[in-house]
Amino acid sequence: MKAAELFVRCLENEGVEYIFGVPGEENLDVMDALLDSSIRFVTCRHEQGAAFMADVYGRLTGRAGVCLATLGPGATNLFTGVADANMDHAPLVAISGQADTHRLHKESHQVLDLEQMFQSITKYSSRVVAPNIIPEVVRKAFKLAQTDKTGATFIELPENIMKLDTEEPPLRSRQSMLSEPPQEKVQYAAELISQARYPIILAGNGVIRSRAWKELAGFAEHLGIPTANTFMAKGVIPFKHPFALGSAGLQAKDYVSCGFSRADVIICIGYDLVEYHPHLWHPTRDRKIIHIDTSPAEVDAHYEPEVGVVGDIRHSLKRIAELATPHQGHPMRVLREALIEDMNQHARDEAFPVKPQKIIWDLRTAMDLEDIVICDVGAHKMWMARMFRCEHPNTCLISNGFASMGIAVPGAIAARLACPERRVVAVTGDGGFMMNSQEIETAMRLGVAMVVLIWNDGGYGLIDWKQHNTFQRSSHVAFGNPDFVKYAESFGAKGYRIERVADLMPTLRRALADDTVSIIDCPVDYRENLILTEKLGNLVSPL
């Protein structure tokens, strides 16, 4: 068989269901081999969209999402989405075609050293230089992408190598097992928790990757420890849980920040530094930190663990809980109550344009608890992270490591393919929407039903927020938009425009019931950004 056929067989062997990508000249043989494969190729309108689809597919399934491009500009268009997956620790395998190996040593049409280029943003980057190494390269790429900490890998396929014959079989696909935490570390962590006066938990995305959310909730309840989550770990502890404090991650003082200010022991579980830099929640560098994760702690002056419990997070939590002394009462309950009061304040707000708090209230009310939100990057992300209540993990996906705009629309397509039984909403600003809005055609072609909720303020709202906080004026953040209703209809999708607050809830419910792509243009009042900043700046700890 041809090397391209072996390559596709190796992907099948890894359980690949979808490849998101754009065909090109240098991947002709692979594209042809896919015609005889069980793998479904999703033709995208831009390689960045393909990479974001693979990124979100990996986050939701725990299996590597796969994206494919041709050489040169096709490969460089993958770069942002691949970097996003790697920094956010989403399992992803990126593949690109490459020119004939006889051209790689010199200046040549569309040729870049892709193997070297992708090394900086992946766990593993390799070029297939002979047909017989394909099984090893593919197995290693998937093994490393799916091994904690999960991330992105890259394979480059020169076109002449893909045409050669080979008889190599695929290697057996195996998943590595996580190690058990050392007993002496478990014991010491339990002692520190027992001796603490005001312990607090910071739960990160690693809890979701390790599927340890039930153990986390049980750990917090059994030991009586208040628990905050990062943006990327929303839902890892149900918001209805009596010890849930909500999301930590605003780069400003918030109710949760007051909890960290009082804590003497901070238990970081599955926490990645890219989620929320420790100098923001541990500026004093004098608290005892317990690091519970599948890998050792990153080196940081504000993150020096007293003890690191490294191994299977589920087992670590169970074993520590068995040894630690539970705490009585809930000294930080007032923080939770203050946040709930803040969330409920705008439930009946009738101001127009719509306030962020009201949009979130209506969205949460209209959606089922297990439906999925893919949140883009922008001012709306800060509001969603803070105020959108989650009862289940992976029901509000927020990119907060690389934090790239443009992920919501392609991400929602991937979420619908990965979880067809659940409804999906892409929450995006007008800036982020227009970065990958061409993928609406992809969704329509696939018959994927989803809702796109655009927070429309006619500018880059988050940057405007930062500019006003710093300089009290704006600089080059405003832009114009198309008529989003007509834009939706031009794709064959449904378009809705919110013209009064009373229309928002029924429109959301109607759109969620649509068996197609529905785009909602909702004007947002981002004057609330500065009001929030002022409020948090004047916040006095209720503790």
pLDDT of residue 169: 94
**CATH number for the domain including 139?**
3.40.50.970
pLDDT of residue 251: 61
| Cβ–Cβ under 8 Å, residues 268 and 290 | yes
Output the DSSP codes for 455-505: EE-SB-HHHHHHHHHHHSS--S-B-----HHHHHHHTT-EEEE--SGGGHH
pLDDT tens-place string over residues 434-477: 999 999 999 999 999 999 999 999 999 889 988 998 999 999 99
What are the structure tokens assigned to 280, written together?
A: 């923001």
Nearest to 445 by CA among 516, 495, 494, 512: 516
- Domain contains 339: no
Please determine, for residue 187, whether its predicted confidence score (pLDDT) is greater than 80. yes
pLDDT tens-place string over residues 264-302: 999 999 999 999 999 999 999 999 999 999 999 999 999
- Domain contains 458: yes
Percent of the chain residues past pLDDT 70, beyond the cut: 97
Please state, in angstroms and as integers, the Cα–Cα distance from residue 242 to each residue in 15, 332, 369, following that order: 40, 11, 18
Please determine, for residue 541, whether its predicted confidence score (pLDDT) is greater than 90. no
10 Å Cβ neighbour count for 260?
Answer: 20
pLDDT category of residue 540 using cuts at 50, 70 and 90: very low
Listed in sequence order, the residues at least 6 apart from 21 whose beta carbon sits closer than 8 Å to its beta carbon are: 41, 42, 43, 44, 47, 50, 67, 68, 69, 95
* Edge-to-edge strand ranges of the sheet holding 288-293: 244-247, 227-229, 199-203, 265-269, 288-293, 307-310
Please determine, for residue 175, whether its predicted confidence score (pLDDT) is greater than 50. yes
Q: Are 315 and 377 in a shared domain?
A: no
**Residue in the structure block whose two tokens are 């692979």:** 30
Task: Tell me the H-state helices in 196-277.
Answer: 206-209, 213-223, 255-262
pLDDT category of residue 117 using cuts at 50, 70 and 90: very high
CA distance 291 to 308: 5
pLDDT category of residue 356 using cuts at 50, 70 and 90: very high
pLDDT of residue 332: 78
Q: Are 203 and 279 in a shared domain?
A: yes
pLDDT of residue 463: 92
Range of the domain at 189: 183-331
pLDDT of residue 100: 85
Please determine, for residue 535, whether its predicted confidence score (pLDDT) is greater than 70. no
pLDDT of residue 33: 97
| Total domains in the fold of the chain | 3
| Stretch 410-415: mean pLDDT | 98
Q: Are 93 and 214 in a shared domain?
A: no
Q: Are 525 and 405 in a shared domain?
A: yes
Alpha carbon 119 to chain centroid, angstroms = 21
pLDDT of residue 520: 98
Please state, in angstroms and as integers, the Cα–Cα distance from residue 143 to each residue in 64, 68, 149, 213, following that order: 9, 18, 11, 24
| Stretch 372-397: mean pLDDT | 95
307: three-class secondary structure by DSSP: strand
CA distance 40 to 321: 45
**CATH number for the domain including 308?**
3.40.50.1220
- Exposure letters 182-202 (e unless 16+ CB within 10 A, then b): eeebbbbbbebbeebebbbbb
CA distance 291 to 411: 31
Q: Are 223 and 300 in a shared domain?
A: yes
The more confidently predicted of residues 528 and 254 is: 528
Please determine, for residue 377, whether its predicted confidence score (pLDDT) is greater than 80. yes
Please determine, for residue 163, whether its predicted confidence score (pLDDT) is greater than 70. yes
pLDDT tens-place string over residues 385-399: 989 999 999 999 999
Q: Are 281 and 378 in a shared domain?
A: no
pLDDT tens-place string over residues 91-112: 999 999 997 888 878 787 777 8
Q: Are 203 and 276 in a shared domain?
A: yes
Q: Are 190 and 152 in a shared domain?
A: no
